[in-house]
Amino acid sequence: MSEASYFKTLLSKLDQADSKGLSEVLDKLNNHTAVRKVPLFGAPVDVAYVGEDHSFLLVKFDFIDLTPERYSWLADEEGIGSEPPLYFAKSEYRISPVYEMQRAKCLFSLIHPDAEIEMLLVCNYTILNYEMMKKAWGEIGVQVFEEIDETASEAFRPSDEDRRLLLKAVDRASLSPENFDWDKAFPNFIKTLFHYGDQQVPPDSDTDTDNDSDSLEENPFAEFLANSSSDAEAEETGPQEAGLMGDGKDNHGGLKIRSIRLFRGPVDPNGEIPQESLWAFDGRRLKSVGLSFEARCRAEQGPYDEMVVNLYDETGRLQVHKEIRATLTQLDNGTDLSLLASLDEDETFHWATGNYVIEIKCRDQRIVPVTFQVGKRNVCGYYEPENAEKSSPVQPFEVLKSLIGLSQVKEQMGIYRDMVRIATQRRQNGLSVPPISLHAAFMGNPGTGKTTVARLYGAMLKELGLLSSGHVVYKERSLLTGQNYSSEQELTLQAIEEAQGGVLFIDEAHNLYNPNDPRDPGKNVIETLLTTLSDEQKNDWALLLAGYTDGITRMFSINQGFASRIPERNRYYFQDYTADELIQIADSYCIRHNYFLSEEAREALRMKIRHDYRLRDEKFGNARYVTALLTSEILPAMASRLARRSPVSLFDMLTIEREDIPSPHVKDYKGSMRKLYDMVGLGALKKSIEAHLNMVKLMMLRNEQGIETAMPPLHMVFTGNPGTGKTTVASFIGEIYASMGLLSKGDLIYVERKDLVGQFVGDTEKNTEDVLNRAKGNVLFIDEAYTLAPKGNEKDFGPRALEVLLSALGKESVDMLVIMAGYKEEMEEMLASNRGLRSRIPYTFHFVDYTADELMQIAEQVAERSQFRFSSAARRKLRELVEFKLAGKDANWGNARYITRLISSQILPAMSSRLAALPAAKQKDRNRLCLICQEDIPSPEDDATREQKVGFDEAAVSRALKRLDALVGLEEVKRSIHNFVDVSRYMRSQGGGWMDNEPLRWNFTGNTGTGKSTVAGIMAELLRAMHLLGKGHLVELKAETLYNVSDFKAEELLQKAMKRSEQGLLFIDGDAPVFKHPDSRFNSEVLRFKLSSMTMELPGTYALIIAENEGTPHLLTRSLREGGITSFDHTLHFADYTEEELLAILGKCLQRKRLRLSPEAARHMADYIHSLYANRRLGYANARTMSKLARSIAETALLRISTGDSHGDGTVRLCDVEHYVWKEVDTRRIGYVKP
């Protein structure tokens, strides 16, 4: 192909005495009469001799078929050895010409053994990575030029090893260089180097060229020499696959391998060949290895009856040589060949641990090398041609049984096969037979063998006489839904026509149709399939639906047409492969592609697979994972290792070593452990958690070393009072478990009762399932979990959440850690009443209250993070206050939370007031700005008096409430905020404060445009007036900016917003449609946890408001609101505006523009707003729409006034609004029939 046509020039010169330019030299070469052709890699090569002092080798690669199948060994994405690959601007292929240059150098060095050879590469295509390639190749003596006139180059010495290898081969063949046929020798030499890994000297020979004791037969490189000295053209066989697995194609001269089996010998010629084939043998008491070889040769080929079997050990030494006459069976279309050989020990050879190669030859040509191991155990391996279902005499069900895993599928399909056979016999005897459906569903995760079994399923249906051909046609949604409207029926019927006599396999069938989209073209595909299935005349085809289990099951529940035609007995569930089965799949891959796994490599691979298997999710690739692991990581690592080695033997190329296996991706969990140890106090708890983690590590190490150890449930219970660090420690546990490979993600999902328990029957189960899905791979932290099991309320839905949770935790492998938290007595009572919880959540860790010393440490840390420090007197006074509070603490004592709030809400405001009274010059003193003094600390005696003194700025409170009351509507919200102010004022008068135990956090729920952001601004002013915030400024953050970026960026944005809002209010506007982006791990639960954590960790005081649409978690709030409770759990609901309120909002918006509606215009707009309200499901009946309407009306009215209208008194007239007329939009669903 033209895209792969590269002009590559390789130039070798003896010296550079000639000062002529390179272009003139090339002209001489091209025009020289002594040029002769030499075939090299299928391309013409010009070899020219110019004069006695200058010799050049010019190789023109005008066209090479660089398809991966033919010359894949020339193309390497990573380059050959340490050299970078070439990236050509006009080609999709990447070629490594240095490899070719080094081979060509061997020939030239033989012609001139004493020459110093200079090499130059010139390409007429633009080299994209020219600078990188020029530098890298320059280090190994190859000069690269973009233009042919760049003549600077350096001498490059040929490889002595390459020259010695070829010279030794010439000596072995007793040929002189003068009589040697280079036209044939050099191409064969190249191929031999490829086959034998570029090894410089055969491993069984001595490096001394005078030693000729070894026979030509023992020299692996002698074969091409013997062929080269013959007048007949040598037949090119191409590189062959080694091992027990073949490709079912012609291997040599029309010979097609049917099967190869190795088994423990000796061979009994009259006995039965064992069905189990081995690729690795237990070396204990091994005396003989049996070989069974079967092949087919075409009728026009001569007989292959005289066979040679050679056995080489891993040093390359020939250990067994046998000449055997094969058994031939003449057939109409060819000849079947079978061979039995027994490779036995003798006086000079004994089986030892290591790698071996069996070479099968016929008519002096190698047919195939067969690789195997002798080690500590037997490992099965089977020959499986690509087209086994077409050419193999083995029955499809027998092939199915030989596949790894799939025990449930095999059993179920065996029952189906038996049912069909019995039904056939009954029919033959005139008995009635109930109909048996051909159609089936394959359900399971990716890589579980669904496609492979589909081929066997079609072949089995043909064998049973249910289908005429049994072929399989593969389709998916994109191939059945065309780009043109209503082309789905045509494409589907065409697919069914292709599948006549066979199976129509639709992969990911659950994606065919989205029931929530009535316009989805997949609906036509479904209808066409069902229509054809109902046609009894078209019964010579089978429909096979494949996809995820949940997706196909949901599809059947929605569409009864499929459910009725694919009965339960025809629904096959493909379970994930076990870790051991995945290891078997890896072994099979190595057999099929000619690789050995050393003992150390196999153990490392087993550990890697077990580690990744433990962290699998629904997207785990199963067998595809194993293939990707080998092809994308292990084999490239092996290639890089071998590229650094010289020479490379055959067994080097076969053997995968330990260093080629990637280590399990285990993060360093010491950082997370340091965070845990750096926490103040919790000494006994830290020791308990460390002991627990040591036990987990012991179990992991035992499993990694092959000692079967059942990992017990690792779920936990955290007990303790508020503010003792339970949530913080839970997040550290998640990080540690993820680092150890026990969790795939390790984030913390924080939930409470309201997130799990619903209001109606079935809601609790759905909510809990949703939470469990979000928590996969993470830590599920259930705060105040005892509320899920209330006493004396049999109608409570909380126990239903526990049942769903226990059911999920009862599964064998759960990528999740559940931590239940709450007060000690309540949690112990809940565990005692539910044995299932105690067995599945076995570990309990208790968080004790902080002591006075520990609280003082926390105070020092909080102050230091904000670059404050306590004076000695302030420290003593603070300790007195802490001890006083501890002496009178109750169950609601806030522990660390109290210290954080005390500093941010009392100590720092008092310090600010003290500094404000100082002269301006003293206020700029750095020491004063950082030092917390004694008078800034409230005394135990005057704590209540101090709080009263710091009390409200009543004038500012009044102004803020007046703004709130002036808003249209929102009566419940107004009443709730007034109640909050009144309660806070009363608590201050009693010596308490709002901030002692309650966070400044509210949830605003309601539809778009109901005033949430406006009220948030008023709340910021109000909190400042109440001295709960130092500044009272508003920082607004759109939630959509957090969900459309990476998790790291989202956390960075959130932290910056938090810092900006210190002593102010952070308003998270989650009113946007993408508030819960389905593909973002940064969801609302993570957002709430991050906000809670940051308010605890960051210095200063923060108020938070999260605005969102009302959803299921707020159903309880809604029911209480209907009973007169306007605020519950700091949740304020913003009800939709009425028609009258919307008109009032429009009037206020116009007033701000100094306009007012005339009575006629007001009546017209009232009618328009009535239509908006009647269609409020469309989302237009809100204050945001009124604001936009006011702007539009104002523009129309002002345009009229500006053109000279005499009525320029600021009145909006009917003519300004008469075009605002609601036009009904038909939003009925397709197929809707009006009653």
Greater pLDDT, 154 or 927: 927
pLDDT band at 289 (very low <50, low <70, confident <90, very high): very high
Residue 309 has pLDDT above 80, yes or no: yes
Query: Between β-strands 155-156 and 117-123, what pairing exists: parallel, antiparallel or unpaired?
Result: antiparallel
Torsion (CA) 554, 560, 565, 568 in degrees, nearest 10: 50
Q: Which class for 71: exposed (0-12), middle (13-18), buried (19 or more C-beta within 10 A)?
A: middle
Greater pLDDT, 439 or 39: 439
Candidate from 287-296, 590-599, 1083-1092, 1195-1204 with smallest mean pLDDT: 1083-1092
Residue 532 backbone dihedrals phi, psi, to 5 degrees? -70, -35
Give the three-class secondary structure for 520: coil
Greater pLDDT, 587 or 705: 587
Structure tokens at 868: 């404050």
Of these ranges, 414-423, 662-671, 829-838, the one predicted with the greatest mean pLDDT is 414-423
Residue 72 has pLDDT above 70, yes or no: no
Distance of CA 336 to the CA centre of its chain: 48
**Residue in 161, 167, 143, 164 with CA at minimum distance from that of residue 153:** 143
According to CATH, the topology of domain 954-1133 is Rossmann fold (3.40.50)
Greater pLDDT, 226 or 729: 729
pLDDT band at 580 (very low <50, low <70, confident <90, very high): confident
Residue 320 has pLDDT above 50, yes or no: yes
| Count of other CB atoms within 10 angstroms of residue 254 | 16
Residue 1053 has pLDDT above 60, yes or no: yes
Give the residue-averaged pLDDT of 737-757: 84
| Count of other CB atoms within 10 angstroms of residue 258 | 19
Report whether CATH 3.40.50.300 matches the domain 396-536+546-574.
Answer: yes
Residue 173 has pLDDT above 60, yes or no: no
| Count of other CB atoms within 10 angstroms of residue 1223 | 5
Domains 396-536+546-574 and 954-1133 share a fold: yes
User: What pLDDT score was predicted for residue 572?
Assistant: 93
Give the residue-averaged pLDDT of 556-574: 85
- The CA distance from 899 to 850, in Å, is 11
Greater pLDDT, 865 or 482: 865
Q: Which class for 1207: exposed (0-12), middle (13-18), buried (19 or more C-beta within 10 A)?
A: exposed
- The CA distance from 123 to 86, in Å, is 10
Residue 82 backbone dihedrals phi, psi, to 5 degrees? -90, 0
Candidate from 68-82, 524-538, 866-880, 934-948 with smallest mean pLDDT: 68-82
User: What pLDDT score was predicted for residue 628?
Assistant: 86
User: What pLDDT score was predicted for residue 1089?
Assistant: 67
Residue 88 has pLDDT above 70, yes or no: no
Give the residue-averaged pLDDT of 417-434: 87
User: What pLDDT score was predicted for residue 89?
Assistant: 34
Residue 202 has pLDDT above 80, yes or no: no
**Percent of the chain at pLDDT exceeding 90:** 3
Candidate from 751-760, 852-861, 884-893, 989-998 with smallest mean pLDDT: 989-998
User: What pLDDT score was predicted for residue 248?
Assistant: 39
List the CATH code of the domain at 1139-1216. Answer: 1.10.8
User: What pLDDT score was predicted for residue 990?
Assistant: 65
Residue 1152 has pLDDT above 80, yes or no: no
Residue 620 has pLDDT above 50, yes or no: yes
Could you give the count of Cα atoms lying within 13 Å of 829 in the half-sphere of its Cβ? 13
User: What pLDDT score was predicted for residue 1098?
Assistant: 63
pLDDT band at 892 (very low <50, low <70, confident <90, very high): low
- The CA distance from 178 to 187, in Å, is 18
Radius of gyration in angstroms for the set of CA atoms belonging to the chain, rounded to a whole number: 41
**Residue in 107, 114, 246, 220 with CA at minimum distance from that of residue 167:** 107
User: What pLDDT score was predicted for residue 216?
Assistant: 27
**pLDDT tens digits for 898-953?**
888 888 878 888 888 888 888 887 877 888 888 889 888 887 765 544 444 456 77
- The CA distance from 94 to 91, in Å, is 8
Report whether CATH 3.40.50.1000 matches the domain 669-847.
Answer: no
Could you give the count of Cα atoms lying within 13 Å of 691 in the half-sphere of its Cβ? 9
Distances in Å between the alpha carbon of 982 and those of 391, 908, 975? 88, 25, 11
Residue 169 has pLDDT above 60, yes or no: no
Give the three-class secondary structure for 238: coil
Residue 20 has pLDDT above 60, yes or no: no
User: What pLDDT score was predicted for residue 781?
Assistant: 93
- The CA distance from 205 to 203, in Å, is 6
**pLDDT tens digits for 205-250?**
333 333 333 322 333 333 333 333 323 222 222 222 323 333 334 4
Greater pLDDT, 486 or 435: 435
User: What pLDDT score was predicted for residue 675?
Assistant: 79
Greater pLDDT, 216 or 743: 743
Residue 296 backbone dihedrals phi, psi, to 5 degrees? -125, 130
What class does CATH assign to 255-380? mainly beta
- CB under 8 Å to 100, separation ≥6 — which residues? 8, 10, 41, 59, 61, 74
Residue 442 has pLDDT above 90, yes or no: yes
Distances in Å between the alpha carbon of 1017 and those of 826, 904, 956, 1064, 1101? 40, 21, 14, 10, 17
Q: State pTM to two decimals.
A: 0.43
- Tokens 């330019």, residue located: 21
Determine the length of the chain.
1235
Of these ranges, 149-158, 207-216, 740-749, 1097-1106, the one predicted with the greatest mean pLDDT is 740-749
The mean predicted confidence, pLDDT, of the chain is: 70
Q: Which CATH architecture has domain 581-660?
A: Orthogonal Bundle (1.10)
Give the residue-averaged pLDDT of 187-194: 40
User: Crossing angle for the helix pair 683-704 and 599-614, nearest 10 degrees?
Assistant: 130
Sorted by where each begins, the domain ranges of the chain are 3-71+83-174, 255-380, 396-536+546-574, 581-660, 669-847, 874-948, 954-1133, 1139-1216
User: What pLDDT score was predicted for residue 882?
Assistant: 86
**pLDDT tens digits for 1107-1133?**
877 554 444 445 444 544 444 457 888
Of these ranges, 60-64, 754-758, 1221-1225, the one predicted with the greatest mean pLDDT is 754-758
Greater pLDDT, 507 or 1205: 507
Residue 1032 has pLDDT above 90, yes or no: no
Residue 505 has pLDDT above 90, yes or no: yes
Candidate from 267-276, 664-673, 816-825, 1069-1078 with smallest mean pLDDT: 1069-1078
User: What pLDDT score was predicted for residue 430?
Assistant: 83
Q: Which class for 1211: exposed (0-12), middle (13-18), buried (19 or more C-beta within 10 A)?
A: middle
